[in-house]
Amino acid sequence: MYAIVDIAGQQFKVEKDQKLYVHRLEVEEGKKVSFQKVLLIDTGNKVSVGNPVVKGASVDAKVISHMKGDKVLVFKKKRRKGYQKLNGHRQYMTQIQIEAISETGGATKKEAPAAKKEEAPAAKTTAKKPAASKAASKAAPKATAEKPAAAKKPAAKKPAAKTTAAKTTAAKKPAAKKPAAKKPAAKAAPKKESGDKAE
């Protein structure tokens, strides 16, 4: 039997009596801790896959010790620039031992009440629909009564809009410019060479 569980943001495949290292937990050494984010449980006969977690499942563990991981060297360098940097890092970790994997409560039992709750709101919405249609029918005559008045107001403003449009079009037209006549360039007389004068 094994389970896949989310512990401090990481997923682990765990079995009973297994020891593993996880990110530092805020639990004292020697105390027990329970993890509820179980993503999958395989009992050998059946596999329960969570959506996203298996409901009612949990993994119990015991905190053995808190420690630091092995040193990791972080070296940075930019060639031909005279830059290099060396840093060290040791990750804070917790060693735990898995004591039990429990699969309690059935998903089918919890799904049945949820289905009933979904049916109840559907019935309420159907009951509210006629009331909404009555309110819409009452509001419809008022809207039709207001439409003629609204139509009369823009009719009075239309001539003023036309005059302003005429003014703007007249103001926007630039004066027609005639292209300047190009003067033909005077052709320079060919220069006589010194040999021409002798002849």
**Catalytic residue numbers, as ranges:** 62
Helix-then-strand count for the chain, H and E: 2, 10
DSSP string, 69-94: ---EEEEEEETTTTEEEEEEE--EEE
Task: Report the C-alpha gap between 52 and 39 in whole angstroms.
Answer: 6
> What is the SS3 assignment for 96?
strand
Closest to 59 measured CA to CA, from 112, 97, 30, 105: 97
Closest to 15 measured CA to CA, from 93, 95, 97: 97
Q: List C-alpha distances in Å: 124 to 12, 98, 115, 118.
A: 45, 48, 15, 10
Task: Tally the C-alpha atoms within 13 A of residue 103's C-alpha that lie toward its C-beta.
Answer: 20
